[in-house]
């Protein structure tokens, strides 16, 4: 089989080819093209499109394309189920789903930044997913810091950070975090507390617990979704973008995910909102 998808892959568009090659069709080949050419080239080359809106192999609800492949081909491997949650968390910016999701996103983003050739990127990505699958299959219960002294030192460090942060009325991390979000939300919709906790010198667990106090009484995830909705509103003003494209550009898993969150905030779905704009 020959498959085709959008260029510059990161999560789903590397994970799905790995899954196909390892569990569905070892002889499969993959083509990466610009977003607007995927369906055109799919018809020309008799290739199956995936991970774009309005095709069979895509996001459904809160699940990503990787989930659909597993369900479609009835893959029962427990390690793949573990891997699916990690991929879903990384691909849909739900790093709360699995502790490994933020690490997978960081590795994928770094690979994409360093490697400009998509086929070379795919080959490197295959190695990453082979390793992650081996961990899910054989090594889930092993820990790096198994020495009790190491664990004791980690506990002392975490309590020190907590005391240091609580000694200030308005933590400096809150001000710095707001600046980071404001600076990067337009270009990096996959921000996570774990991703930026090192630069803030505050433990991500503490950030997660204290975040709402300084950000409109919202959790980190809800605050980022609020900013995504604001960006979606801006894109809805431009008729050249379809709702499916807006969902992808603003980091939602698919159009139905955008519809659900948008309606929760405004009481109407994006298409009705866009119609109301044209009447003004």
Cβ count near 241 (within 10 Å) = 16
Beta strand spans in the chain (E): 2-6, 29-33, 48-49
CATH at residue 258: 1.10.10.60
Query: Do 204 and 181 fall into the same domain?
Result: yes
The residue from 190, 215, 240 where one domain ends is 215
Average pLDDT of 243-265?
Answer: 82
Inform me whether the pLDDT recorded for 72 exceeds 90: yes
Highest mean pLDDT pick, 141-145, 155-159, 185-189, 270-274: 270-274
Q: Are 108 and 10 in contact (CB under 8 A)?
A: yes
109/168 same-domain check: no
Q: Are residues 21 and 66 in the same domain?
A: yes
Q: Are 126 and 152 contained in the same domain? A: no
The answer to whether 17 and 30 are in contact (CB under 8 A) is yes
- Domain edge (last residue) among 194, 215, 236: 215
> What pLDDT shows up at residue 41?
97
Report residue 240 CA to chain centroid gap.
25
* Count of C-beta atoms within a 10 Å radius of residue 178: 13
Of 224 and 239, the structure prediction assigns the larger pLDDT to 239
- pLDDT value of position 239: 86
Q: What's the number of CA atoms in the CB half-sphere (13 Å) around residue 119?
A: 4
Number of domains in the chain: 3
Residue ranges making up the domain that contains 65: 2-139
In this prediction, residues 177-198 reach a mean pLDDT of 62
At residue 201, the 3 state secondary structure works out as: coil
Domain boundary among 82, 117, 139: 139
Q: In b/e form, how buried is each residue of 246-279, taking b as 16+ CB within 10 angstroms?
A: bbbbbbbbbbbbbbebbeeeeeebbeebbeeeee
Q: What are the residues facing 234 on neighbouring strands?
A: none
Question: Based on the domain organization, do 193 and 123 belong to the same domain?
Answer: no
Q: Is the same domain home to 186 and 129?
A: no
Cα dihedral 226, 230, 233, 238 in deg (nearest 10): -140
Render pLDDT for 132-181 as a digit per residue (tens, 0 to 9). Answer: 999 999 988 776 655 555 566 666 666 665 555 555 466 666 777 666 66
Q: pTM (2 decimals)?
A: 0.56
Which SS3 state, helix, strand or coil, does residue 150 take?
helix
- 132 and 182 housed in the same domain: no
Quick check: 185 pLDDT over 80? no
Tokens representing 148 are 């009790």
Q: How far is CA 18 from the centre of its chain?
A: 17
- In this structure, the answer to whether residues 8 and 40 fall within a common structural domain is yes
248 pLDDT above the threshold of 90:
no
């Amino acid at each position: 089989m020959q498959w085709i998808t959008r260029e510059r892959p990161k999560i789903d568009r590397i994970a799905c080819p790995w899954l196909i090659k390892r569990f569905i069709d070892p002889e499969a080949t993959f083509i990466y093209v610009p977003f607007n050419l995927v369906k055109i080239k799919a018809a020309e080359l008799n290739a199956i499109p995936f991970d774009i809106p309005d095709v069979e192999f895509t996001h459904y609800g809160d699940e990503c394309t990787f989930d659909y492949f597993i369900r479609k081909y009835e893959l029962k491997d427990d390690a793949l189920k573990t891997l699916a949650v990690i991929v879903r968390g990384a691909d849909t910016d739900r790093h709360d789903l699995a502790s490994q999701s933020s690490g997978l996103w960081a590795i994928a983003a770094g690979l994409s930044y360093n490697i400009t050739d998509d086929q070379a990127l795919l080959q490197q990505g295959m190695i990453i997913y082979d390793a992650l699958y081996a961990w899910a299959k054989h090594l889930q219960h092993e820990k790096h810091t198994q020495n009790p002294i190491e664990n004791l030192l980690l506990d002392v460090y975490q309590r020190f950070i907590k005391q240091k942060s609580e000694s200030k009325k308005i933590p400096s991390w809150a001000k710095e975090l707001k600046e980071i979000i404001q600076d990067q939300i337009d270009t990096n919709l996959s921000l996570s507390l774990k991703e930026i906790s090192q630069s803030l010198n505050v433990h991500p667990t503490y950030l997660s617990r204290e975040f709402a106090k300084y950000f409109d009484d919202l959790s980190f995830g809800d605050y980022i979704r609020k900013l995504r909705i604001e960006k979606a509103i801006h894109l809805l003003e431009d008729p050249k973008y379809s709702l499916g494209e807006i969902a992808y550009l603003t980091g939602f898993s698919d159009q139905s995910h955008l519809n659900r969150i948008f309606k929760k905030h405004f009481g109407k779905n994006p298409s009705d909102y866009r119609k109301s704009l044209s009447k003004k």
